[in-house]
Amino acid sequence: MKLNSKYFDCIRVKPDEDQTLRNVSPECEWPGCSGPAQHKAPRGRGREGEYFNFCVRHVREYNKSYNYFSGMSDDDVARFQKSALTGHRPTWNMGTNGDKSAGKNDSADADKNFTHAFVFDDPFGVFGKATGDEGPKEYAPIKPVGNVGRKCLLSLGLDDTATPHEIKTRFKEQVKRHHPDHNGGDRSSEDKLREVIQAYNYLKEAGLC
């Protein structure tokens, strides 16, 4: 072929892929390897954010033997895994930072009873229904009523702000009003009595009274 042929410039030779990768990629950091390093591998604990550059063959070998916990005792590993649950951020027990003037014993007692009731002054009843008459009152968490619960309360002639004591009192009143034994044997209101009993049983199972 003549070097000045018009066809000479049209010939295209497929480039060497490995050579192309070497030109655009760093060299593999594995000892004795000069291949293109297209893959990163973590350098290890204490050097987060730093990476080795390996070729595909050597990054696989590195990953097989990589152990982030290498050199740590079993206790250290357990503490690390527990801390990882909260993103390695500090945590506190609920209720321990509320009263700075309380002593250790008072704080311990407050923590022990925290899941059962709150003892503080809530004059507007924001956090629940008051059960005490004087001094700091004890409040139980308010439970959601739901649509079925509201219907049951309506059957007793109450709304969703009724307290457990009010529900029980109203139930007893309704039973006496509609029970045949208290109406000279009249059974005309037995359906209403059945409705009241079913409503009360539901409210009781739902923990609303």
Write out pLDDT tens, residues 24-78. Answer: 678 888 998 988 888 888 888 878 888 898 998 999 999 888 887 888 888 888 8
Q: How far is CA 159 from the centre of its chain?
A: 33
Considering the domain architecture, whether residues 120 and 159 belong to the same structural domain is answered as: no
**Is pLDDT above 60 for 199?**
yes
Asked if the structure places residue 87 within a domain, the reply is no
Considering the domain architecture, whether residues 133 and 180 belong to the same structural domain is answered as: no
More confident residue, 122 or 201: 201
pLDDT of residue 19: 60
Asked if the structure places residue 173 within a domain, the reply is yes
**Is pLDDT above 70 for 205?**
yes
Q: CATH number for the domain including 170?
A: 1.10.287.110
Q: How many CA atoms lie within 13 A of 6 on its CB side?
A: 0
**Are the C-beta atoms of 97 and 111 separated by less than 8 Å?**
no
DSSP state of 181: G
CA-CA distance, 26 to 163, in Å (whole number)? 74
Overall number of domains in the chain? 3
Considering the domain architecture, whether residues 37 and 53 belong to the same structural domain is answered as: yes
Asked if the structure places residue 83 within a domain, the reply is no
**Are the C-beta atoms of 69 and 52 separated by less than 8 Å?**
no
Considering the domain architecture, whether residues 201 and 167 belong to the same structural domain is answered as: yes
* Domain interval for residue 153: 146-205
Encode pLDDT of 148-169 as tens digits: 888 989 889 898 888 899 999 9
Asked if the structure places residue 1 within a domain, the reply is no
Examine the fold and report which residue of 112, 140, 168 is the final residue of a domain before the chain moves on.
140
Nearest Cα to Cα of residue 121 among 99, 100, 143, 154? 99
Asked if the structure places residue 72 within a domain, the reply is no
Examine the fold and report which residue of 50, 65, 80 is the final residue of a domain before the chain moves on.
65
pLDDT of residue 94: 66
Residues 6 or more apart in contact with residue 174 via CB below 8 angstroms: 156, 157, 192, 193, 196
- pTM of the predicted model as reported, rounded to 2 decimal places: 0.34
CA-CA distance, 173 to 158, in Å (whole number)? 12
Residue 190, SS3 per DSSP: helix
pLDDT of residue 95: 57
Encode pLDDT of 10-25 as tens digits: 556 565 555 656 666 7
